[in-house]
Amino acid sequence: MGDDTIAIRRIATMSVERHEFAPWDTPRNRKTQGVYATLCVSLLFFGLLGLGWWALRPGQGDGVIGLFAGIGMLFLGVLLGIRAAMIAVMLKKREPYYRLMIGTSDARQIPLVDNNRDVLVKIRDVVRHKMDTGDTTVTGDFDLNLDSVNLRLPKGAALGAAVAAPAPVPAAQEDDVFDGPKITF
């Protein structure tokens, strides 16, 4: 969207919501975990069969082969089982994200999603200040990728403490690093 201005008319509600998602919980990772678990169980089974073969034929040459094959398969089965357990733990891991939901009186909803709640709260407070006071002289922009809210206040104007403390970002960093949407308010 570049440096576009988004006009939101008839704002009715604004709320910052917390949600969770599991970044590792994908069909590919579930399938990988299933393959590791299946190989673990089958290698453990055949490893125990190899050890049993050695126990049944202790003095024979094929019994020694069964012993070494059984130990190797048990070792690989344990390693694959540990890997399957590690993937299972990662599948359960959940991470939070936050969403500023702006609802309008004509039933539209505009979501702004970020992993930093403070930035979304600052954006909400700026919009609320502009709506409550009708002050059109306060301008600024925000960048969700850099977690920055930059306000340009007229001389002598002051906003509330929650709004007036934007995260400072050097101008060179803002222009050099930014490659995503930047919205002006």
What count of Cα atoms within 13 Å lies in the side-chain half-sphere of residue 140?
A: 26
Higher pLDDT, 14 or 161: 14
* Owning domain of residue 83: 36-105
Report how far residue 184's alpha carbon sits from residue 6's, in angstroms, rounded to the nearest whole number.
Answer: 7
Q: What are the tens digits of pLDDT across the range 56-110? A: 887 787 788 888 899 999 999 999 999 999 999 999 888 888 888 888 887 777 7
- pTM confidence score: 0.54
Domain count, the chain: 1
CA neighbor of 140 nearest in space, from 122, 127, 157, 152: 152
Residue 82 is assigned to a structural domain of this protein: yes
Mean pLDDT of the chain: 76
Q: Could you tell me the two tokens for 99?
A: 């969403």
pLDDT at 86: 94
